Structure 1
Amino acid sequence: MTSEYDEATTFELTGNRATARLSSDWGIGNAVNGGIIMSLLAQVTSSVSRSAGGHGDVLGLSAVFLSPGADGAAEVSTDVLRNGRSMTTAQTLLSQEDERVRAFVTLGDIDRYAEPITLNPQPPAMPEPDACVRSSDAPPDALSQSGLLSRVDIRLDPACVGWAVGQPSGNGELRGWIRFADGREPDLHSLLLFLDAFPPVTFDLGAKGWVPTVQFSGYLHARPAPGWLQVRTRTTTVAGGLHEEDAQIWDSTGRLVAQSRQLASARF
């Protein structure tokens, strides 16, 4: 049985151009989640790179969000800029009449860079998933405005959810667990979705409404082991309606498998 994530990232490739369909099933309000778009871009870029004799595992992706993705057909065009012995560099663009997302992508053989581990930050202490607050327990109006929340299972550390009842901690940090709601196990390129799937960290500072990403840089370090992923998001700078958000993901073995930094809006 094909998972909802696999359906959402399906594409047809002809040369260096792919056609796909973005779905509001992965939306937040009126926009399609940026993480699912980046996962799609990663998979298209991987296919184009392999067909050009390059590498197939995304190591890093830096994206600029030019306009919100919408439900409907999309076109992805990818240009391989350089094929080296150990890495490939490509540029990819997703359009829906208007340009939506443009990204530079670095690809290689992820297994070559996964070992040996010289330094691995440890995941933060948090309760087990069954002792955390489930995203499915969000108010019905919040669930109706976010198809994404029906497709990922998020469990937040109870110490980080005061904002949900009007009592944000002011620490600027969220912690918890995440996995696909339909049981699909995580893979390398799905980590780009999980890096951008948590509630905005500015909720912990009293922000209101969803927070659109302006610029995003994500780094993938290893293929994740099956099971729950642990996530921590933090911000240290909020000014003038913008903030930076750092995310880290550990797999079920306690290994850091992905991290990101993004520039996003903050609405108070």
Structure 2
Amino acid sequence: MAQVAQATIGNSEFDRDTAVTLRDPGVPGVYDAELSAGWTIITAVNGGYLLALLGRALGDALPHSDPFTVSAHYLSPSEPGPAVIRTETIRAGRTLSTGQASLVQYAADGTEVERIRVLATYGDLDALPDDVRTTALPPAIPAYRDCLGPSDGPAPAIPGSSAITERLNIRLDPATVGWVVGMPSGKGEMRGWFGLADGRDADPLSLLLTVDALPPTSFELGLKGWTPTVELTTHIRCRPAPGPLRVSITTRNLAGGFLEEDAEVWDSADRLVAQSRQLAKAPLSHG
């Protein structure tokens, strides 16, 4: 059997599904997009996928193409189907540019519904100095072969779509999958290896997906169901090296029905390539 060619950056399902089209060359900043059903989880389109979609539009609209920091507020659940992204350049400097973007969809009666609003600063990752001073260490995750994928255990009893799992190659640290068999650790931790299922290497845009792609830490806190993101801020620190990523997510505080998730993403060269913090609404059901 002939070997299937690995997808490449710019030629993959992720790139096709995050494509945006400038609506009118004479009216810059307005883009048409199609939210793919392939990136849904439980009841809604994944927040990291949406962040990448808006990130692509801003990278086209701004004079700089690499996201440095992206802060998003999720206003209502997005649905598969047509969407419009409106961007605005707030400031364009020599090394950094800042813009905002809003994604809207239309209800059955034609009413416009805003789904997500983003404020972001972009630059050139390749122009950054090489100096690194850090106390951060890569997460202690077992070897890829010793971690667990979807086929290694019973399917978790979570109703709704799991289409996004077919597009991701995630192998979770066994210490963070007790929730699958009804024995959550209670530690609020999720760790694992991450890649796209078609073999496409990571780039700054796909890192916006990566920070929100693992199962929520709420599962290991003994909660089931959708954990909707309220706000998500992501920092892209450098262009990732080819190869699988390691992702570590922790929650230290669940209070008042909300929790935070702090994520770190490390590349195959042991570099911290992305960080994020999100505030999410905790599920109501207990395992």
Q: Work out whether residues 219 and 259 of structure 1, in 8 Å CA contact, stay in contact via their aligned partners in 2.
A: yes
| Cα distance in structure 2, aligned partners of 1:245 and 1:101 | 19
| Cα distance in structure 2, aligned partners of 1:209 and 1:143 | 8
Q: Which amino acid aligns with 2:96?
A: M
The Cα shift of 1:114 comes to 5.4
Of stretches 225-234 and 136-145 in structure 1, the one that deviates more from structure 2 is 136-145
| Cα distance in structure 2, aligned partners of 1:166 and 1:114 | 47
Aligned position for 2:204: 188
The Cα shift of 1:141 comes to 6.5
For residues 179-222 of structure 1, the C-alpha deviation after alignment (integer angstroms, 9 at most, x for no partner) is 00111111111000000000001111101112110101000001
1:231-246 equivalences under 5 Å are 231-246=247-262
C-alpha change, 1:155 and 1:114, in structure 2 (3 Å) is farther
C-alpha change, 1:4 and 1:124, in structure 2 (3 Å) is same
* Larger-Rg structure: 2
Pair 1:16 & 2:29 matched: yes
| Cα distance in structure 2, aligned partners of 1:207 and 1:235 | 13
Kindly report structure 1 stretches of 4+ aligned residues shifted beyond 4 Å.
140-144
Unaligned runs of 5+ in 1: none
| Cα distance in structure 1, aligned partners of 2:172 and 2:196 | 15
Q: Which amino acid aligns with 1:8?
A: D
Aligned position for 2:148: 133
| Cα distance in structure 2, aligned partners of 1:183 and 1:142 | 27
From 67, 70, 82, the counterpart of 1:61: 70
Q: Work out whether residues 113 and 221 of structure 1, in 8 Å CA contact, stay in contact via their aligned partners in 2.
A: no
Cα RMSD (Å): 1.6
Q: How high is the TM-score relative to the length of structure 2?
A: 0.88
SS of the counterpart of 1:93?
strand
C-alpha change, 1:33 and 1:136, in structure 2 (3 Å) is farther
Q: Work out whether residues 32 and 71 of structure 1, in 8 Å CA contact, stay in contact via their aligned partners in 2.
A: yes
From 108, 115, 139, the counterpart of 2:130: 115
Across the two proteins, how many residue pairs are aligned to each other?
Answer: 264
The Cα shift of 1:91 comes to 0.6
C-alpha change, 1:94 and 1:182, in structure 2 (3 Å) is same
Aligned position for 2:120: 105
Aligned position for 2:80: 71
SS of the counterpart of 2:70?
strand
SS of the counterpart of 2:32?
strand
